[in-house]
A and B are shown apart, each in its own frame.
Chain A
């Protein structure tokens, strides 16, 4: 895993450069999606999230959730045609900061069925291409990533 100015960029994931989302293809037909470290840092501490329900079909470029932090609100966009299989709502209910703490693990947002597997990776970046893209973005915008930690971990 590459860490650049505090921002984790796991090379095994796929990323949408514009939406700042990550995709883990579990197999040909299913994938897990979430916010990147840069996205959670830039949004800041989340205060609300609202998910569309499992079963909903989402067209490429449309949103599956709305995310609100103390300073910003925006859509969580799915980069390819997909059907929501599950959301991580229960985890966010217990800990709204979970994506601020563990954006690539416990803080995932949705699991989906990939409706057009042949083209799902179109327009996504992975491996060294993703690392190079995000390093440039981090440098150009002076981004530094931060995570939230549990109070017990602070001491």
Chain B
């Protein structure tokens, strides 16, 4: 690997902030230098993962009301609200120049992010495989892709993040779920502004980051501009990423409706129709255990405090059918619970549907 080119393109339109790394990747030729792009959007927008279905993931009506554009990227993962609070750090490298295993590739990509945060006095660490954590809280996400002939890794320097709008733009089955997403983001995510009590200077942090990149990669970096050809291809990508056909694309085999907060924390919701009524379970799973649980629906359960008590009783359990059955059975016996048309097995069914 020779020197690494840096394209610090500053603030650009939301569409360009996504299109630029696709464009540089698609334009990559055998003699194109490995490239790091630093870019941010002038205005907020919502970005969805390659295989997501727009209508299932995003509250499209809300975004339209708020004039928030939505774009689909060619990198995986979930829907995310983005704005000036993040500087995207996009690596576009020749295939074979980054480590072949994803674990090592992410470790290399994340090292300068961790070192930058640490230099600022933030206690950040790599949380394998691809998260950066500050004492159990995630500070930005990362993703990897092959785009054209390039290996791409993307992430961000997380200056600030709008937790409320992140929870607001998602399409969720209930407002209860939205509240839980918001609470969990507050509890399990952080930013430079939160950690430091102020927002550090963007240019200083970017400079610091590039120095850490030189250290991690063992090469010098140099500032440059995209070539005419790269701009042309980026504009072509913009036409595609900005098209309705691309945005409304369907056909991915989506397997989960869980909302991932970070590597150990997921929010899930299930609905189960028991003879005595609908049971809706909204849970936060932390390392596979029920960390928080809300049960609702149109069933009847006596005594009146039993629902809250059952929520409490199930906390800390893993989603193991026998363990759940035993706990619910014990609970019914201990409190002499009455719930017409809803039995122990119905609760087990509803809870087991939470499995990610």
Interface secondary structure of A, over-half rule: mixed
Residues of A within 8 Å of B132, CB to CB, are: none
Given contacts A49-B253, A73-B50, A140-B100, 5 further A-B contacts (CB under 8 A): A48-B76, A49-B252, A50-B253, A72-B143, A96-B253
| B289 contacts chain A at the CB level, 8 A cutoff | no
Among the 9-residue stretches A63-71, A101-109, A114-122, the one with 4 or more Cβ atoms under 8 Å from chain B is A63-71
The answer to whether B50 touches A71, judged by C-beta atoms less than 8 angstroms apart, is no
- Nearest chain B residue, comparing its CB with the CB of A18: B95
A residues apposed to B, CB below 8 Å: 18, 42-44, 47-51, 66, 68-75, 89, 92-93, 96, 137, 140-143
Interface secondary structure of B, over-half rule: loop
Report the minimal beta-carbon distance from B331 to chain A, rounded to whole angstroms: 26
The answer to whether B101 touches A42, judged by C-beta atoms less than 8 angstroms apart, is yes
The answer to whether A47 touches B95, judged by C-beta atoms less than 8 angstroms apart, is no
B residues apposed to A, CB below 8 Å: 49-51, 74-76, 95, 99-102, 104, 106, 129-130, 143-146, 251-256
The answer to whether B102 touches A44, judged by C-beta atoms less than 8 angstroms apart, is yes
The answer to whether B145 touches A72, judged by C-beta atoms less than 8 angstroms apart, is yes
- Nearest chain B residue, comparing its CB with the CB of A94: B253
The answer to whether B102 touches A66, judged by C-beta atoms less than 8 angstroms apart, is no
Report the minimal beta-carbon distance from B319 to chain A, rounded to whole angstroms: 12
The answer to whether A141 touches B130, judged by C-beta atoms less than 8 angstroms apart, is no
The answer to whether A141 touches B101, judged by C-beta atoms less than 8 angstroms apart, is yes
- Nearest chain B residue, comparing its CB with the CB of A61: B149
Which listed residue (A42, A48, A142) contacts B102, Cβ 8 A?
Answer: A42
- Nearest chain B residue, comparing its CB with the CB of A144: B101
The answer to whether A48 touches B99, judged by C-beta atoms less than 8 angstroms apart, is no
Report the minimal beta-carbon distance from B249 to chain A, rounded to whole angstroms: 8
The answer to whether B252 touches A50, judged by C-beta atoms less than 8 angstroms apart, is yes
